[in-house]
Amino acid sequence: MNDNLQLLITAILATAGLGTAAMGLVEAIKAVPGCWLSRIGFKRILAVTRQFDGTLTAAVGPDWESMLAAHWVNGRPRQEQKAIIRALLRLGLVDGAIDQLAKAGNVREASLKAVAGKLQAGGDLTDGELTLLGRVEAVVEAKLDAAFDIAEQHYRNAARLWAAFFSIVLALVAWALLQQSFTWSEAMGRDLLVALAAGAAAVPMAPVAKDLIAALSASAKAVKAAKAL
């Protein structure tokens, strides 16, 4: 393999390794008690669930927010978190906690109250009542899906930004350790720019490094074969 190509592949692997290390550092920081990073995005979920705060309070009491936050911080799968919220909303269908769900589902409060009474008594629901309950649940499901989509996107973006910050810091530390003298020179400035570029590219390059190397190797083989014709 051409020396220049081998050098490029080595640089890609090293840069990707730096990105992987930075992302690992972000994950490690999440283990620190009270770390803010784990809660990023949760405000979006709270903004939706607070629309049903009366129903959730009727289900589990006033500390329902901390309970939902624990599931989010622990990284519980989205479907499980949504299922828990839906179950709590059903559990909270009692007198005085129905108006919020009725308003969200655009159904009559009295009708939903009748359905809630049957659920609490263990009675069978009619087709119309099942349709009414399904309508409310569909609205809740749509709201939760949108909230989790935005929350997860905010978390991913924040995690990548922090990983990029750490990768740049690590690249600068490596640059400093490699310097034999801190007397400024043109070579030193060039090496600093290379370190900054490597740190900035590390996180986005980490997931695609293998594919990029495979593509470069395939391209090199294709060019070599073409020259041989």
Tell me how far apart the alpha carbons of residues 85 and 141 are, in angstroms, rounded to a whole number: 10
Per-residue pLDDT at 24 exceeds 60: yes
Per-residue pLDDT at 1 exceeds 70: no
What is the rounded average pLDDT of the residues 7-36?
82
Tell me the whole-structure pTM to 2 decimals: 0.74
Distance from the Cα of residue 138 to its chain's centroid? 24
Q: Do 49 and 104 contact (CB within 8 A), yes or no?
A: no
State the Rg of the chain over Cα.
27
Count the neighbouring beta carbons within 10 Å of the beta carbon of residue 164: 20
pLDDT band of 227, cuts 50, 70, 90: confident
Top pLDDT among 71 and 115 is at 71
Distance from the Cα of residue 49 to its chain's centroid? 18
Q: Do 171 and 202 contact (CB within 8 A), yes or no?
A: yes
Q: Give the pLDDT score at 151.
A: 93
Phi, psi (degrees; rounded to nearest 5) at 201: -90, -10
Per-residue pLDDT at 175 exceeds 70: yes
Distance of CA 114 to CAs 86, 122, 131, 139, 207, Å?
19, 12, 13, 19, 53
CA angle 114, 115, 116 (to 5 degrees): 90
Count the neighbouring beta carbons within 10 Å of the beta carbon of residue 142: 12
What is the rounded average pLDDT of the residues 63-88?
91
Q: Give the pLDDT score at 2.
A: 67
Count the neighbouring beta carbons within 10 Å of the beta carbon of residue 206: 20
